[in-house]
Structure 1
Amino acid sequence: MTPAQPQRPSPPRELLLQTASELFYREGINGVGVDRILQETGVTRSTLYRHFAGKEALIVAYLQREDQAMRGQFAAAGEQAVSPEHVLELIVEGVANDASRHHTRGCPFINATAEFPDPASPVRQVVAEHRTWFRDTLLHALTAAGRDDAATKADTLVMLRDAVLVGCYLDGAETVRRTFIQSARWVAGLR
């Protein structure tokens, strides 16, 4: 008997999610309707609803995809790091690179929060879970590196990440990136 293979997402589901993710990030979630997504993908409405219960489920999948991408980046950094200090270095550089290269229109989680103000909504729940994971990951890295008051430092680094993602969009990447790196290194206790 052969072991079960992990299920891959179907091509239509992946196409819908990829297209919706690009449109939601570039044009805003509420500014993009289901009809636009269907038009861009060439997928039928029945296929969309076979994979997603509705637009809200598609939005949740988009944010979960963003979350998983960041978790993957952090896991890869942890695997290549040679010390707890190096983990902190990789986190700071990774956040700066993400803000200045990949998320040049702000933070997808902050953007979603602005469009979905109800904290009990499924969209906001995904955002809250992501932020909790991010803060806990920073707390663990700071603690492993022997930093005093790691909880306050983790909170500060979360705030600095928010600032660099918004700042790169508003003020341009290079200056904001440089300021973020200097500030985050100082907070993390890096030389």
Structure 2
Amino acid sequence: MKQKTGDPKQRLLETATALFYKQGYHATGINQVIQEADVARASLYTHYASKEALLAAFLEHRHQYWFSRLREATERANTPRKKILAAFDFLQAMNEQEDFRGCAFLNILSELSEKEAEALAIIRDHKKELKSYLGDILNGQPASLKTQVYLLFESAMVESQLFRDQWPVLEAKKIISNLLPK
């Protein structure tokens, strides 16, 4: 069993991260988070003003985690082509590691309404940063190619979750390989 940290705020965030990603935001009750984090209700509200604030913290935490892993995967490669292909290898690795659970941001997005403006803004910012990151790798290439790479990356992530299989990532990677300059 995983050893829990002594910091109640960190335990709340770690617990919410696991539950929101696995079960979804609306399916996870605040009482479950409190119980599984093994903290008092007052601790929750000392560190997070509401369930929505905990959601925002989860999304920010996931953003940092996910992007650090993506950067780690792509920065090992030494050419733009290899970096983009490494991004698709990263998707495959995440599928294996996270049992094809898919994009935490899109999973949460499917549960939100316009009333959850802070969470929606974090999700939009995450996707904008991803598009920018992939585009920056392809510096000097046409904007249309940068957009195609981003859209193929996103669709591969969603479709691999839907089918619980790597074939969408592998097919997108083949398409990208043909689109990118040698």
Q: What TM-score do the two structures reach when normalised by structure 2? A: 0.86
Structure-2 change in CA distance of 1:190 and 1:178 (3 Å): farther
Q: Which amino acid aligns with 1:65?
A: H
Q: Which residue of 2 aligns with 1:17?
A: 13
How far, CA to CA, are the matches of 1:23 and 1:141 in structure 2?
33
The answer to whether 1:52 aligns with 2:48 is: yes
**1:167 aligned residue (159, 174, 178):** 159
Deviation, structure 1 residue 79: 4.1
How far, CA to CA, are the matches of 2:163 and 2:74 in structure 1?
31
Q: Deviations over 1:73-96 (max 9, x none)?
A: 233245433233332232222133
**2:145 aligned residue (139, 145, 153):** 153
Segments of 5+ residues of structure 1 without an aligned counterpart are 1-8
Structure-2 change in CA distance of 1:190 and 1:172 (3 Å): farther
Deviation, structure 1 residue 179: 1.6
Taking only aligned residues, the RMSD between alpha carbons, in angstroms, comes to 2.2
SS of residue in 2 equivalent to 1:173? coil
How many residues of Structure 1 are paired with residues of Structure 2 in the alignment? 178
The answer to whether 1:64 aligns with 2:60 is: yes
Q: Which residue of 2 aligns with 1:82?
A: 78
Q: Which amino acid aligns with 1:106?
A: G
Q: What TM-score do the two structures reach when normalised by structure 1? A: 0.82
How far, CA to CA, are the matches of 1:92 and 1:62 in structure 2?
24
Deviation, structure 1 residue 119: 7.5
Structure-2 change in CA distance of 1:103 and 1:54 (3 Å): farther
Q: Which residue of 1 aligns with 2:38?
A: 42
| Identity, % of aligned positions | 24
How far, CA to CA, are the matches of 1:42 and 1:90 in structure 2?
39
